[in-house]
Amino acid sequence: MTFKKTAGILTGAALGCAATAASAQSVEVLHWWTAGGEAAALNVLKEDLASKDIDWQDMPVAGGAGEAASTALKARVTAGNPPTAAQLLGMQVREWAEAGALGDLTSVAEEESWGDVVPAAVQEFATHDGAWVAAPVNIHRPNWLWINAKIFEEQGLEPPTTWEEFNAAATQLQEAGITPLAHGGQPWQDTTVFDDVVLGIGGPDFYRSAIIEGDPEALSSETMVQVFDQMRTLRGFVDENFSGRDWNLATAMLLNGEAAMQLMGDWAKGEIVRADMVPGEDILCVPAPGTDGAYLFNTDFFALFDVSEDNRETQQELARSVMSPEFQKEFNLVKGSIPARTDIPGDDFDACAQTAMEDIAEAQENDALLGSLAHGHAQTSAVQRAIFDVVTEHFNSDMSSEDAVEELQIAVESAQM
């Protein structure tokens, strides 16, 4: 594949001039950060660029985990009218890079030593054929269980560490008339939960072979039957209006005490903070049952499209902004994630983010840092979509676990072809 090579590297002074001279610079950015906490985080970037005299043209496409945004982006690129930049998850970066659609950020990355501060697992998605093709904004952890502390205290419950404990706590909550699990029935949310259950029941090695490698034996194993059994049990713990609900509305149920728990990535923390609640105190954060010591991750990247001469300086400035230590800190404080740079001190972050920073280091050492399937870091879009379909069909029907396992294996196999 070919990349358009960027010519020289801009010096700080040259950039300053460029920014003042051409106040008409603008970037059109396609993204899916439309929930309250997400929009607040995005504002940090907009303001940062405004201070450099770069105008932000917003192209928001609502829809959690970026499914709708991905469709919109494809349509724009196919029509020959790509945005300046787009928010992408890891596998999307890889697929767009393979299609030769992304701008090359290598000169900026080398000048600013991104290679020294971005964890290897993230670099794997940010680079293609030895070139940097995307700037990582953050690291999210999708395998969190969020708990309404007041409800748990009133019920005399402890945070569950296994699925058995989870089921026991949820049954008690249900008997007390409280919805145990805040959930939104959308394929990506169902699969966020599924990822947790696969990891929690099977452990890191099983997750790796079944989900990342798509190994047919793991996919059709007895362990996978148990995973679907647990998914069926979870279906009994959600309220009757769960279908189609957006994730942030499910988080709102957790915050206002309508539900006791939510299995969701730490973008939920953006909502917690906005509601003036304290993560780790009012809303507890613990690893999803059975996943202590392991870390599912996903990173939001910005990648550059429409790489014309006219745009290049502004685009590179966008990449510089995203990777600056100040921005990484300010943005992630609001977004709920941790920085994509390892050189940002955790002191100003909340208790959950500090735990995340410790846990990611531990997981990395133990070979238990794993890409999230639901959030585009485990499989190609085609295989991901095939798994979404089976998980969601199972969750919304009375399909047996054995049938689900069989369908899963067939779906993955045909999507791999």
Q: Among the candidate windows 60-68, 215-223, 226-234, 387-395, which touches ligand BGC by CB under 6 A?
A: 60-68
Give the integer Cα–Cα distance in Å for 407 and 386. 10
Residue number of the CB closest to ligand BGC reads 267
- Residue 378's DSSP bridge partners are none
Judged by CB, which is closer to ligand BGC: 211, or 218?
Answer: 211
Q: Does 375 bind ligand BGC (CB under 6 A)?
A: yes
Q: Does 38 bind ligand BGC (CB under 6 A)?
A: yes
Find the distance separating the first CA and the last CA of the chain, reported in whole Å.
Answer: 21
Beta strand pairing call for 131-132 and 55-60: unpaired
Give the integer Cα–Cα distance in Å for 329 and 343. 10
> Please, are residues 359 and 352 in contact by the beta-carbon 8 Å criterion?
no
Q: Does 267 bind ligand BGC (CB under 6 A)?
A: yes
Q: Among the candidate windows 61-69, 158-166, 253-261, 409-417, which touches ligand BGC by CB under 6 A?
A: 61-69
Two tokens at 245?
Answer: 């609900």
Q: Among the candidate windows 62-70, 112-120, 165-173, 341-349, which touches ligand BGC by CB under 6 A?
A: 62-70
* Number of other residues whose CB lies within 10 A of the CB of residue 85: 28
Q: What is the DSSP letter of 102?
A: S
Contacts for 213 with CB less than 8 Å, ≥ 6 apart = none
Two tokens at 233?
Answer: 């049990």
Rounded to 10°, the helix 36-50/325-335 angle is 160
> Please, are residues 301 and 137 in contact by the beta-carbon 8 Å criterion?
yes
Q: Does 66 bind ligand BGC (CB under 6 A)?
A: yes
List Cα–Cα distances, 415 to 122, 268, 412, in angstroms: 25, 31, 5
Site string for ligand BGC, 296-315 (x = CB under 6 A): --x-x---------------
Q: How many residues bind ligand BGC (CB under 6 A)?
A: 12
Judged by CB, which is closer to ligand BGC: 31, or 128?
Answer: 31
> Please, are residues 301 and 86 in contact by the beta-carbon 8 Å criterion?
no
Q: Among the candidate windows 64-72, 91-99, 158-166, 177-185, which touches ligand BGC by CB under 6 A?
A: 64-72
Site string for ligand BGC, 180-219 (x = CB under 6 A): ----------------------------------------
C-alpha Rg value of the chain to the nearest Å: 21
Q: Does 334 bind ligand BGC (CB under 6 A)?
A: no
Q: Does 125 bind ligand BGC (CB under 6 A)?
A: no
Window 87 to 106, contacts with ligand BGC (CB under 6 A): 89
Sequence letter at residue 387: I
Judged by CB, which is closer to ligand BGC: 178, or 253?
Answer: 253
Give the integer Cα–Cα distance in Å for 264 and 379. 19
Judged by CB, which is closer to ligand BGC: 142, or 204?
Answer: 142
Q: Does 77 bind ligand BGC (CB under 6 A)?
A: no
Q: Does 140 bind ligand BGC (CB under 6 A)?
A: yes
Q: Does 394 bind ligand BGC (CB under 6 A)?
A: no
**What residues line the site for ligand BGC (CB under 6 A)?**
32, 38, 64-66, 89, 140, 247, 267, 298, 300, 375
